[in-house]
Amino acid sequence: MLSIAVNNIQIRAGHGMYPEEAIRGNDFEVDVAVFLPIGIQDDWPLIDYSRISEIVHFVMLAETVPIMEMLVQDIWIRIKQEWPELAKIRVAIRKLNPPMKGDVHHAQVSFEG
């Protein structure tokens, strides 16, 4: 199994449940890993990781949504549409310093499938 990952893609966007989040924005980090079912002797396909980053930026900056689950799902679907041969895709989004009580480094939503 071949894996290709792009980690800690940093984006500022206005996603969140609270109206002030749309105004002031939040800092996010996104990780994407894709997995191909190939062996060491197989021809290895080209998975352009800069294209993965472009997809992440497009989704994260296209429109504001209230929950990170929607973003994870949209990124996952768009990557699968671009590379249907992938065996598995893992997408994780972290909202840094989310607006909640206490000192919380990040909240994270991830999906692997």
CATH of the domain at 74: 3.30.1130.10
Tens digits of residue pLDDT in 13-71? 999 888 888 889 999 999 999 999 998 888 888 899 999 999 999 999 999 999 999 99
Average the pLDDT over 91-106 and give the result: 93
Q: What is the DSSP string of 77-110?
A: HHHHHH-TT-SEEEEEEEEES-SSSS---EEEEE
Q: How far apart are CA 42 and CA 31, in angstroms?
A: 27
Provide the number of structural domains found in the chain.
1
16 occurs within a structural domain: yes
The token pair that represents 30 in the structure block: 């996104």
The range of the structural domain enclosing residue 37 comes to 2-92
Angle at 101 between CA 97 and CA 106, to 5 degrees: 25
- Under the banding of pLDDT at 50, 70 and 90, the label for residue 100 is confident
pTM, two decimals, is 0.93
Output the pLDDT for position 31: 98
Output the pLDDT for position 10: 98
